[in-house]
Amino acid sequence: MTDDTPIIVWFRRDLRMSDNPALSAAVEGGRPLLPVYVLDPGNGDPWPLGAAGRWWLHHSLSALGRSLAAWGAPLLLCRGSEALVLTELAVATGARAVFCNQVVEPWRQVRDHEVAERLAHCGVGMAFFSGSVLFDPATMAAGRTRPWTVFGPFWRRCLTLPAPNRPLPVPPPPVPAVRSPPAGETLDHWRLVPDRPDGWDGVAATWTPGEAAARDRLAAFLEDAATGYQHERDRVDRPGTSQLSPSLHWGELSVRQVWHAVSATLDGGPGDASRYAFLRQLGWREFSTHLLHHFPELPLRPFDRRFESFPSRRDDHAMAAWQQGRTGYPLVDAAMRQLRVTGWMHNRLRMVAASFLVKHLLLPWQDGAAWFWDGLVDADLANNAAGWQWVAGCGTDAAPFFRIFNPVLQGRRFDPDGTLVRRFVPELAGLSAAHIHEPWRTGRAPTGTAYPPPMVDHRQARERALAAFRSLPAGT
């Protein structure tokens, strides 16, 4: 007798249909499918979504819902405790299995374990599939006394392992439909996108969430930028990077798909150095995931515990100036406004803006990370925490603290004509390239505006930061 009990496919951070191991495995059984997304606002999530994340989720779920409906198994939207919603769904539909792809964040894995236990009490099995990393963090540390904490050897080790599995195609549509599926809620009803005074137009003009758009972005990157990546990736005034981070975070594309798409273009020619440089950046994503898996406190506590006594200041005025892009340093301000307007920030700018907060202003890196968390469409617990700790000098494999970015020199080097500054700091648009990164040197206030003078002097701020660093207990 064939088993015609449905399988619940629980979508989380895998908002795609291709290379979705849980979805493909569920289809293979030939049983009816019930795709579901559960919004659990009261689950005590230690990292509730930020505003920009909610914007992305709304639109990405909308795109996934359309694709699944066209495919033949509409997405059910449910709200409530995950364990309760899934149990009730199983009871209502007779489902005896829930399939999902693993989310590798430690708090999520604890929660998944609890959900699986609750389901098991009701005779419902839960199957986890792996689809969000290239190299499983638990396996990577197997046989070692300590997890990897230095990127170079970690990545060299990854490259000796068998290549990541080939991505799976979109599975064929499920044949049997779920008989009388329960009614779900609607996205509009959820009101995921928060109101904010400046609205979401800039974000909407920059991004199209969803799997199809993510594939287009990948294709465009392969076509236009991948072969120049090595030299262009630090230029903040040009589209030299892939801008795939939100799609990778939300799982609209799997990292395996990106890995194999890029690897397939390796041709032994001069563009390969760039392609390898790009694959190495995917390695940083793996490394951050590895770190968070093994050091779950990473988002809150400095990996280098000496930094717990770092003499950070509390200064709401300085924090607000940084957040609003009014520090008086054009590159920092352009970075912070790029974040606010587009929901994204170039990697070089993340480093410069984060360094400015921690070293020029002596404000806690955790506060900066929280602001990024709220504002980034790609806000990712592992990458954000590792990125901030790297810049703050307290991470596992961090930039030495004494390397303090000079925002003027960074501007001259990576935005030499001031294109990015002119775009995001229009008050300065009339300045020449010679002055745009140091408007105070014109000797007059920039054209009729209230662009502020530098809130700290670079040299003095640098000395203050170095003194703060010297006050730490000696290294081990």
Ligand X SMILES: Cc1cc2nc3c(=O)[nH]c(=O)nc-3n(C[C@H](O)[C@H](O)[C@H](O)COP(=O)(O)OP(=O)(O)OC[C@H]3O[C@@H](n4cnc5c(N)ncnc54)[C@H](O)[C@@H]3O)c2cc1C
Task: Sheet with 125-129: list strands edge to edge.
Answer: 76-79, 33-39, 7-11, 97-101, 125-129
Q: Min. distance of Cβ 347 from ligand X in angstroms?
A: 3
The C-alpha torsion from 147 through 281 and 424 to 212, rounded to 10°, is -110
Residue in this structure with the two tokens 């009014």, named with its chain if needed: 326
Q: What are the tokens at 266? A: 């390796």
H-state helical runs in 14-130: 21-28, 51-71, 82-93, 106-121
Minimum CB–partner distance for residue 458 and ligand X (Å): 20
Rg for the chain, CA atoms, rounded = 24
Give me the residues that bind ligand X (CB under 6 A), please.
233, 241-245, 248-249, 281-282, 284-285, 288, 347, 350-351, 354, 372, 376, 378-380, 383-384, 387-388, 391
User: Closest distance between ligand X and the C-beta of residue 290, in Å?
Assistant: 11
Length of the chain: 476
How far is the C-alpha of 387 from the C-alpha of 396, rounded, in Å? Answer: 11
Nearer of residues 112 and 397 to ligand X, judged by Cβ: 397
Minimum distance between the CB of residue 265 and ligand X, rounded to whole angstroms?
A: 15
Phi and psi angles of residue 58, each rounded to the nearest 5 degrees, phi first: -55, -50
Answer yes or no: are the C-beta atoms of 9 and 181 closer than 8 Å: no
Contact 127, 22 (CB under 8 A): yes
* Rounded Cα–Cα distance for residues 118 and 299 (Å): 29
- CA dist., res. 409 & res. 428, Å (int): 17
Question: Minimum distance between the CB of residue 342 and ligand X, rounded to whole angstroms?
Answer: 12
Under 8 Å between Cβ of 38 and 119: no
Q: Which is nearer to ligand X, 6 or 302 (CB)?
A: 302
Closer to ligand X by CB, 105 or 378: give it.
378
Point out which residues pair with 8 in neighbouring strands.
Answer: 34, 98
Query: Between 11 and 372, whose beta carbon lies closer to ligand X?
Result: 372
Taking the least distance from each CB to ligand X, the nearer of 87 and 389 is 389
DSSP 8: E
CB 388 to ligand X: min, Å: 5
**Residue nearer to ligand X on the CB measure, 331 or 376:** 376
Kindly state the smallest distance separating residue 287's Cβ from ligand X, in Å.
7
Q: Of 387 and 439, which has the nearer Cβ to ligand X? A: 387
Closest to 32 in 3D by CA, of 89, 88, 77: 89
Nearer to ligand X, 87 or 406 (CB): 406
In the complex with ligand X, which residue's Cβ is closer, 32 or 387?
A: 387
97: β partners: 7, 125
Least distance from ligand X to the Cβ atom of residue 244, Å: 4
Backbone angles phi, psi at 117, to 5 degrees: -65, -45
Q: Which amino acid is at 29?
A: G
Token couple for 353: 């803006």
Nearest distance in Å: CB 264, ligand X: 16
User: Which residue is listed with tokens 């903040």?
Assistant: 236
Q: Which residue is nearest to ligand X (CB)?
A: 387
Residue 99 phi, psi dihedral angles, 5° rounding: -110, 135
Nearest distance from C-beta of residue 283 to ligand X, angstroms: 8
Which residue lies nearer to ligand X by CB, 405 or 469?
Answer: 405
